[in-house]
Amino acid sequence: MNLTNLLKIAFRALLNNKLRGFLTMLGIIIGVASVITMLAIGQGSKKSIQENISEMGTNLVMVMPGADMRGGVKQSRSVMETLKLADYEALANETSYISAVSPIVNTSGQAIYGNENTPTTVYGGNEEYLYIKQLKVEDGEMFTDQDIRASAKVCLMGRTVVDNLFGEGANPVGKSIRFNKIPIRIIGVMEEKGYNSMGMDQDDYILMPYTSVQKRILAITHLESIYCSVIDESFTEEAIDEITELLRRNHKIGLGDDDDFNIRSMQELSEMLTSTTDMLTILLAAVAGISLLVGGIGIMNIMYVSVTERTREIGLRMSIGAKGRDILAQFLIESILISVTGGLLGVLLGVSATWILHAATNFTTVIQPWSVILSFAVCTITGVFFGWYPARKASSLDPIEAIRFE
C-alpha cells in the first residue's frame, strides 16, 4: 500500500471523529503554545535586564570603599574614607583600559523652590559622568572644568525634579533652588530616561560638580566611589586587574593583606542576572513542557481506543493483502497528523498569546525562532513516540481473530 493511500485513510479516519481528534490535539496545542509563550517571556526578561544594565553606564566599573575592620567591627561603606582624589587622578592618568573616569559623591535631601519642595538625591561628578552614565543634556549646558575647580554652586536637574518643583514641561534654566539651605543655580535639564524595569525613576536626581558637593554640602575630602568606563566590554577583566594593582599600590597594601576597596562591574552583574534569568526560563519551559507530555499520553490513549474500535477493519484489510507494516504506517500516520496539526495550531496560539501579552501589559517578550522550531519538533517526536505502541499493537493483530472481534 503506497503512502498516498495511507494518508487518505488516515485523513478519513480523523475526519470521521472531528471532535475526538480536536480534543486529542488540545493537549499538544496547549503544550506548544505554553512553551513558546514561556520562552518568549524568559527571553524578553533577559533582554530587558540587559538593556537596563546597559543604560546604567557604558562598560561601567564601580570602585567603592571596602570593608574595613575597626576594633573587630566591620564598618559600613558610608563611614569609609579609603578613596581619595589621588586615587581618581591615578585612574585618570595611569590606566590603559579605561576611557573615562568620574569621582562620585552623593547625598539625599530636600530641594526647594518657592513654596514647592521635593525629596531627591544630589550626585557630584565631573564632565565625563554624562558619558559613563549615558546621560544627555536636553536644555542648557553641562558644568565646566572651571566650575569644578571653583566648587561652583551650579547644577543640572532630572526631569522628575523639574516637574515636581516647576511644573510639568517647565524650563528652569537660569533659576535658583535651595538644597539643604544652600542656593544653587540651575544651568541645565537632563534628557528624560523614564523608569527602568525594576521600577526605579531614572530622572529623580540633581547633578553637581563633585567639588561643590564635597565642600559646600557634605564638608568632606574623600570620595564615596569612582565610576570608570572601560574602553571595551571585552577588556573588563583586564581593567579590573589594572585598577586593583594601582589602588593597592597607592594605598600601600601589603602582599596578602585584604583590599580596602571593592570593584564591581556591569558585566559581572549582567552575567549573574542573565544566569538567573536563563535558569528561570528553563524552569518555565520545563513546566510548560509537561503539557506536551500530557498531550502525548492523550494521543496514546485515543490511538488505543481507535485500534480497539477498528479491530474488524484491521482484520479485513489484512485478509485482503495488507501487511503488518501497512497497518503500522496507517496508525502511525494518524498519530503524527494529530501531533503535527496540534503543533501548528499551538505555534499560532503561542505567537498570538505572546503578542497579546506584550500589547496588553507592555511586558517585553522575544519570540526566538529556535523556540518555535524546538516546540514543533518535540510535538512531532511526541506523536511518533506515543503513537508507535498503539500502531504496533494494531499491526500485530491476528487477522482471523480481528475479523471475529465484536
Q: Are 219 and 134 in the same domain? A: yes
Based on the domain organization, do 308 and 387 belong to the same domain? Answer: yes
Shared domain for 382 and 278, answered yes or no, is yes
Query: Which residue from 40, 73, 17, 10 is spatially nearest to 372, judged by alpha carbons?
Result: 40
Q: Are 63 and 225 in contact (CB under 8 A)?
A: yes
How many residues make up the chain in this entry? 406
Shared domain for 35 and 128, answered yes or no, is: no
Across the range 19-26, mean pLDDT stands at 78
Tell me, yes or no, whether 212 and 315 share the same domain.
Answer: no
C-alpha cell at 397: 493483530
pLDDT at residue 107, rounded to an integer: 94
367 inside domain: yes
Q: What pLDDT, on a 0 to 100 scale, did the predictor assign at position 20?
A: 75
**Is the domain of 115 the same as that of 217?**
yes
Instruction: Report whether 310 contacts 302 (CB < 8 A).
Output: no
The pLDDT of residue 70 is above 60: no
For residue 90, pLDDT over 90 is answered with yes
210-244 residue pLDDT tens: 999 999 999 999 999 999 999 887 888 899 999 99
Q: What is the CA radius of gyration of the chain?
A: 34
Residue 202 located in a structural domain: yes
The 3 state secondary structure assigned to 158-212 is CHHHHHHHHCCCCCCCCCEEEECCEEEEEEEEECCCCECCCCCECCCCEEEEHHH
Q: Are 276 and 351 members of one domain?
A: yes
pLDDT in tens, 91-123: 999 989 999 999 999 999 999 998 999 999 999
What mean pLDDT is reported for the chain?
Answer: 82
| Of the residues 203, 232, 261, the one at which a domain ends | 232
Distance between CA atoms of 337 and 22, rounded to whole angstroms? 11
Residue 62 lies in a domain: no
Distance, CA of 7 to CA of 5 (rounded, Å): 5
Q: Could you give the 3-state DSSP secondary structure of residue 40?
A: helix
Per the structure, how many domains does the chain have?
2
225 and 276 both lie in a single domain = no
Q: Which domain holds residue 203?
A: 98-232
Give me the mean pLDDT over the 288-312 stretch.
73
Q: Which helix (H) or strand (E) holds 228?
A: strand 225-230
